[in-house]
Structure formats: structure tokens, C-alpha cells
Amino acid sequence: MSILRRRKASETEKASKEDTHKETKYKGVEDEKKDKISKRKVEEKKKKWSCIDSCCWLIGCICSIGWFLLFLYNAMPASFPQYVTEAINGPLPDPPGVKLQKEGLTVKHPVVFVPGIVTGGLELWEGHQCADGLFRKRLWGGTFGEVYKRPLCWVEHMSLDNETGLDPSGIRVRPVPGLVAADYFAPGYFVWAVLIANLARIGYEEKTMYMAAYDWRLSFQNTEVRDHTLSRIKSNIELMVATNGGRKVVVIPHSMGVLYFLHFMKWVEAPAPMGGGGGSDWCAKHIKAVMNIGGPFLGVPKAVSGLFSAEAKDIAVARAIAPVFLDKDVFGLQALQHFMQMTRTWDSTMSMIPKGGDTIWGNMDWSPEEGYACNPQRQRNNETQVAGQSGTEGLSYPKRVNYGRIISFGKEVAEEHSSKIERMDFWDAVKGNNLGNTTCRDVWTEYHDMGWGGIKAVGDYKAYTAGSILDLLHFVAPKMMKRGDAHFSYGIAENLDDPKYNHYKYWSNPLETKLPNAPDMEIYSMYGVGIPTERAYIYKLTPAAECYIPFQIDTSAEGENEGSRLKGGVFSVDGDETVPVLSAGFMCAKAWRGKSRFNPSGIRTFIREYDHAPPVNLLEGRGTQSGAHVDIMGNFALIEDIIRVAAGATGEELGGDRVYSDIFKGLGSLILWETVDGVSEEDMHFSLLPGLGEMNKLI
């Protein structure tokens, strides 16, 4: 711009000089006349060359440069980035699809993908005035352009009805169907795309691949009630089996899709009004294998913090999508409150609340991960299996962490012995005296109904285990949990033959259902390990919680040394960044192993773990050996396993279990710890670790 201005200045200077020059030189009348005319012309021109013109010039400049770059980009051969990468890193390994194609693998079993929470796209079919022109445009997934353009409208359309958990009136937001639903979450951020591309190499195409897209905001049974999604999946699987010569399907659920498919397996065999009426051998006839990727079978602690204070920034991949929007204090827009209000209408988030209570997740003093130390991580990778020996671990013997206390108020509470914590029951606390709604604009969260008394009572209870966390959620979010109770259950079944377990609310809880009668079926649990994963939280009360959520993770709470498991108020354990190993692996490692009451027909289970290795450099993108919850979908080893099974291999041919974590040793090494403390093994087994005892009784 400054250049422009200067140029203009010089122009006027020149012009004025010219004028004086002219006046001295020309004397004739005619000449003067002509001169006047020409002067006027010059002036006119000068006037016209104004700000608008400079603007035009600038715009034109930018446009042209843009086009030029666009042209260059278009002219660039598609293989260019790859070429650069190879030049720097040396030749890339063949993608698994190509490798296996060379080995002669071809398409055999049809494949069904079940996407998880948050990854599926949602599009608008009917909306309010403010969403005009967005018909069949993606509200979720894609570029999220609308989030920025009209945030309130977006939140309104993404929310569900607070009472029914279905559509609010006048709004219909529906899942995007087909493979496009979840191949990319946002441009460039793949979810299923890599897997799809590799499967296509050995001959898969749309008739042999099916994306079971569903509205991940709804509770599982409601997807059937509203969209008939379960019926559609059933019909599609039947069709694929029929058109592929009777070959059974391989199902690949990811994240929450794992629970959704558990629900589906029960639903499809249940009789017609509530279920799909497929008969008791439907699964045996149609499913070859269920290959769960990063499955939160027993829930994730992150879900609790998400519901409690909307702070699970990275539940699945939400973090990646709209960092600005999700960050707390932007523009004072109360984004977090809005977000919380929205997510609390989503029933599905309640399916991820930790299941199995204290028995699985530990009580005030005990937890299954007790022996886990964060720094031996790397050692373990180096020394592989030797790390389990008592000798090495005896040296770096860490302080015990009470992972069982999923939420504790204050760091001291988290570390103190259970007998020293005085807990006040919060149920009696008086709710009421509404905090000023008016000053907080029109954002509504259920915390406003609680009143200060209630909030304080919650803080006074100090520590919450997986069992009492449910009471807490019932207390702070009664409406949500009322819906949740109708659709999900979090306990452990005493007697699985009890007829009450025919109700659909138990179907997505692996501890309250039997697996179907399909002895030929295989269940895989495939997940990443080697990344610290949220397991327990330290909370604090926010002072003067007028317009804010009264609870917050106490990010100032840090562990003493570097290797500590406590960072920023969060205790972490081994896992894939979202799902702890315990939740992902326990069912396949123990509860379903062999013939148990949860697995009466003896379906074979396999555990395949993938150790996390971060991408070497930036060019590799999200890495081919990642173990993170979503990035694992690009893990070559995992893709190879899936392709082999889809092409007909069994779990044994794949190499059976492949374990890096302590999932099998978990209980064993635990005993070791206690022996060091001077307690005999058996005592520990039955008295010190009541949870463990129960755990064993279970099976």
C-alpha cells in the first residue's frame, strides 16, 4: 500500500511541475484553451485514481497470485509429495495392501466397518431458520466451517432433546451414509481412509465393504427407533453374505463402535419387538470375526471428566477438530458451557462411563494397574519381556498410586490412605438457591439447579471410585442420567440367566451379557499401547462459580519427579491415549478367555497390541506405527492383520496373542508387589485385594 501512495504522490508532483512548465511555455489563447481542457482531463484522471482503484489493484494482485499458485499446484504431478518424502527418508516400505497383494491375497470375506463416536459425519435434513442453505451439508465432520460462522446455531442443531434424547422439534440431523461417512474426519485427517485404500488393493470395493454409519449422538437402541440403523446393518450384512457366495463378514468396529456392535449382536438375535428377530444362530451364520480396534469395552475414565466438567478435550478426536472453539476462555463466549450443554444431551457419551464399578476399576485403596510406572515404559520396550522380573522393578519401586479414586478433590486426598479421608455424604445436601441465570446469558447447565450447597457437598465427599462416580453423576446431572439409566447399565451381572438381562439397556455392557452362541466366531482386541492415558483426576472447586462450571481439573497438581504418573492433575496409565489397556484388553484377556459365563460357547479371543512409535519426522504425517487411539487406523501392522483375516486367515495363523503391556501379567505382578511388602501371596489374594478376589470369582 505504501508503494502505491508514494507513487501517487510522485504523480501529483510531476503533474504540478508540468503545469508550471506549461504556463511558462504556452502563450497563445488557443493553446491555453487546449491546455485547460487537458488539465481538466488530467485532474479527472487523478480523481478517479482513488482508493477504490488501489483496492482493485490489490485484489487483482492477490487474485492473480492465487491463481498462479493454484495453477502450479494443479500442474504439480500427484506423486510429488511422495517423491520428496522418499528423497529425504529413503524408500518407503510397501503399504500392507501392496505387500499382501504380491503375496497373492485376494478379497474373500466382506468387511463391515463400525465407526466410533465423533468420527462419523452428520448432515442436516431439516433445520431452523438460522441454518438456511445448509440442507444436506455436513454439520459434523468435514471442514466445520459452520462452527465458526454461526456457532450458536450450530450448537442448537447438534443438540438433542433433553428429555427424550431424540430430535428436538423442527430439527433433523442425520448420519452421512456410505464410506464417505467416516473415511476422513476433516480434510487430510484420515480415519478409515487408509484401511479402505489398502483393502481396495487386494480387490475390495463397495460391494464388499460397508460402513455401518449411525448417529453416534443417540443411545444405541434409539438409533433403531429413529433411523432403523440396526435393521439396516442387519439387512446389509445379510445381503453381503448372500451376494458373496455365503462367505461370512468380518466386522471391524472402532472405539465406541465396539460397544455399538456388542449391542447389535444381542439385538439381532433377540425376538422381534425389541430386537431384530434374527434367531439364535444369526451371528454364527453371518459373522466370521469381530476385530475391535481400540475398544473401550469397560468404558473410559475420560468420559467421566467429559460429563463432569466438559474437560476431556481429546475424547476420541474432538481435540483435533476445533481447538479454538473448544478452548475455554475464548471471547468470553462461555464456549465450554455451551459445549457441555450440548454433549450432555448426547446419550451415547454415557455408554463410555467406566463399567464394572470397583471390581474392575479399583476401590479406594486398590486398583489393577497399581504396579504400573510411567518411566519403566521405555525400559520395557528395550528389555522387552525381562522387565516383568522383580529384580529390575524392585529398584525403581514407585509410590503407590490410588488409581481407583477416579476423581479426588485435592492432591492430598488422592494420596492419603483411605482411613484418613473423611467423607461427607452428599445426597442429603440441599440443592437450590439458583445461581443467577440472568447474568450468565442464556446458557443453561444443570449446575445452575444445584446451588452452592450441592456443589460444596460434592467437594466434601473428597474421593470417588468407579462405583460412587455414578452416584456423583446422578447428583450433578440428574436429567441426563435419567435418560442414561434407561439405555445403559454399568454393573456386573450376578446371574446372567436372570430374565431382566433381556432388556436392551444391558446389551452394550460386556459384563452383563453373554456372547452369542457362535463357536466359530473370533473376537480380536486390537489396541495401541505405550502412550500415557488418563486414568484418574484431581479436581478443585472453582471459586465464585457464577457463570462457570464449578469443578475444574486442578492442573497445578504435579507429581514430584519426572517419572511421575501425575501430570497436570491427571494420573495416567498405559494405553492408547484415550482407552486404558485395562478397558481395551480385559475382556479378551480374561473375561471371555476360554469358556466362561460371559462366553458360554467358547468363542476364541485374541489380543493384538501395537506398540506406539511416533512418526520419525514431519513428512510421515501421522505415522505408520502409531498406537494412538485414532492414528492406529494407519498402523501398517494393524492393517496387515485385518487384511489377512479378511482374506481368510484365522487368529492362530496370525500368530495368536501379541502382547506388550501388562494385561496378562497385571494380576500376577500385582501379587509380586504385595509379597515384597511382606504379605503372603494367599493372604493378599483373599484379604488385601477383595477386588481381585471378586474379579476371579466373576469368571
Partner 1 sequence: MASILRCRKLRYVEPVKCSTLGLESLETLKSSDKAEGGASAVVVNTINRSLPGKRRRRPTNDWRYIDWYCWMVGYLCTTWWLLLLLSHFLSGFQAPESPGSKLKREGLKALHPVVLVPGIVIGGLELWEGRPCADGLFRKRLWSSSFTENFRRPLCWLEHLSLDSVTGLDPPGIRVRPVTGLAAADYFAPGYFLWTTLIENLAKVGYEGKNLHMATYDWRLSFQNTEVRDQSLSRLKSKIELMFVINGYRKVVVVPHSMGSLYFLHFLKWVEAPAPMGGGGGPGWCAKHIKAIMNIGPLFLGVPKAVSNILSSEAKDIAFARTMAPVVLDSNFPGLQTLEHIMQVSRTWDSMMSLIPKGGETIWGDLDWSPEEEYNCDSEWKKNLKASSRDQSHKTNISDGQLGFRVKESVKFGRIISFGKMASKLPSSELRTFDFKDLSCGGASTKSNSSCGEVWTEYDELSRESIKEVAENKVYTATTILDLLYFVAPKMMRRANAHFSHGVAENLDDPKYSHYKYWSNPLETKLPDAPAMEIYCLYGVGIPTERSYVYKLLPSDQCRHIPFRIDSSTGGNNGRCLRSGIYFVDGDESVPVLSAGFMCAKGWQGRNRFNPFGISTYIREYRNKPPTILFEGRGLESSSHVDIMGNVALIEDIMRVAAGANGVELGGNRIFSDIIKMSERINLRL
Contact positions vs partner 1 (CB under 8 A): 7, 10-12, 14-15, 18, 21-22, 25-26, 31, 34-35, 38, 41-42, 44-46, 48, 53, 55-61, 63-64, 66-67, 70, 74, 78-79, 125-126, 135-136, 172, 174-175, 177-180, 183, 196-197, 200-201, 203, 205-207, 227-228, 231-232, 235-236, 238-239, 242-243
Cell numbers for 619: 513428512
Residue written as grid cell 501430570 = 567
- The minimum distance between CB 133 and partner 1, in angstroms, equals 10
DSSP 279-341: -TTHHHHHEEEEEEES--TT--HHHHHHHHHS--TTSTTHHHH-HHHHSTTSTT--HHHHHHH
| Cell digits of residue 308 | 463432569
Which position among 159, 219, 255, 468 bears the catalytic label? 255
Annotated catalytic residue within 347, 629, 631, 661: 629
* Catalytic one of 576, 611, 657, 662: 576
Nearer to partner 1, 187 or 391 (CB): 187
* Angle in degrees, CA 339, 342, 348, rounded to 5: 115
Residues across the chain: 699
The SS3 of residue 147 is helix
Spell out the SS3 assignment of 410-437: CHHHHHCCHHHCCCCCCCCCCCCCCCCC
Dist. CA 318–CA 378, nearest whole Å: 28
Tally: H helices and E strands in the chain? 29, 17
Angle in degrees, 0-180, between the axes of helices 256-269 and 229-243, rounded to the nearest 10:
80
Contact of 244 with 110, CB cutoff 8 Å: yes
For residue 33, the minimal CB distance to partner 1 (Å) is: 10
C-alpha of 143 from chain center: 17
Of residues 84 and 424, the one with the C-beta less far from partner 1 = 84
Nearest to 174 by CA among 119, 132, 223: 223
Query: Which amino acid, one-letter code, is at 346?
Result: W
CA dist list (Å): 612 to 379, 582, 660: 14, 17, 10
CA distance 537 to 549: 16
Nearest Cα neighbor of 140 from 125, 123, 115 is: 123
The three cell numbers of residue 335 are 464456549
Find all residues with CB under 8 Å of 10, minimum gap 6, and list them: none
In this complex, which beta carbon is closest to partner 1, that of residue 47 or of residue 420?
47
**DSSP one-letter code for 678:** T
Active site annotation includes 255: yes
Strand, helix or coil for residue 604: strand
Q: How much of the chain is helix, strand and coil, in % rounded to 5?
A: 45, 10, 40
| Known catalytic residue at 408 | no
Q: Which residues are catalytic?
A: 255, 576, 629
